[in-house]
């Protein structure tokens, strides 16, 4: 099975093999939520969904998706009364409606996908983000002998995101899980305003 297949992740959730499960929210996200105005947020590949509660408690209109039924089941158990904020869906095919998102939160979703799918990920982000919206989160860089997770390089990140969303924040992460220790960075990529984009879609 490939890591872009639902069964790959479903089997791991059902077996309890989740070395990527943080058990809460990272410090960088907590700081971000304290300093930004709540708007509309999307969390693709949400896993256990801990961040959903954090966004909600800070006043955000938040929606989270995952295409693993086992992940969704776990997230709904974790979230209790907020279970309706989590939807079983394929991020690349789901109809999110006409209203775009002001923030999309990334945590272990991109690095779970084979690199050949990354251009689709970047294009989908650009489609779903409002002008001036932000792709935020923890991005995995470096090397990995037995992926997933699949690490980014600086060049790959620029090729994926800079066309639509210039890089405005890049900070080290001090509270990574062992699987990602020393290789995660908190980054914010801001979607260009219409006037900046010109004829770029």
Instruction: Give residue 200's pLDDT.
Output: 46
Task: Tell how far CA 24 is from the center of its chain.
Answer: 15
State residue 91's pLDDT score.
Answer: 96
Residue 178's contacts (CB-CB under 8 Å, 6 or more residues apart) are: 19
Q: Which of 39, 41, 59 is CA-nearest to residue 49?
A: 41
Local confidence band at 201 (pLDDT 50, 70, 90 cut-offs): very low
Q: Residue 9: is its pLDDT beyond 80? A: no
Which has more confidence, 5 or 37?
37
pLDDT at 64 over 50: yes
**pTM metric for this prediction:** 0.90
The full set of domain ranges for the chain reads: 6-197
pLDDT band at 196 (very low <50, low <70, confident <90, very high): low
Q: Does domain 6-197 have CATH number 3.40.395.10?
A: no
Q: Is the pLDDT of residue 146 over 90?
A: no
- Spatial separation of the C-alpha atoms in residues 160 and 122, rounded to whole Å: 6
Is the CB of residue 86 less than 8 Å from the CB of residue 66? yes
- Rounded average pLDDT over 45-73: 96
Mean local confidence (pLDDT), 86-110 = 96
């Amino acid at each position: 099975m490939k890591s872009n297949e639902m069964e790959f992740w479903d089997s791991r959730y059902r077996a309890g093999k989740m070395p990527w499960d943080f058990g809460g929210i990272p410090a960088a996200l907590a700081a971000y939520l304290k300093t930004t105005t709540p708007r509309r947020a999307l969390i693709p590949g949400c896993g256990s969904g801990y961040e959903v509660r954090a966004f909600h408690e800070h006043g955000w209109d938040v929606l989270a998706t995952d295409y693993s039924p086992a992940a969704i089941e776990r997230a709904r158990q974790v979230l209790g009364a907020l279970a309706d904020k989590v939807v079983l869906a394929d991020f690349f095919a789901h109809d999110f409606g006409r209203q775009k998102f002001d923030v999309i939160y990334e945590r272990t979703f991109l690095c779970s996908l084979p690199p050949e799918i990354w251009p689709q990920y970047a294009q989908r982000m650009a489609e779903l983000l409002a002008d001036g919206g932000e792709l935020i989160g923890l991005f995995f860089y470096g090397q990995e002998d037995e992926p997933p997770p699949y690490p980014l390089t600086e060049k790959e990140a620029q090729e994926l995101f800079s066309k639509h969303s210039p890089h405005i924040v890049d900070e080290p992460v001090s509270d990574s899980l062992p699987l990602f220790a020393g290789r995660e960075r908190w980054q914010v990529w801001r979607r260009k305003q219409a006037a900046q984009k010109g004829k770029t879609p």
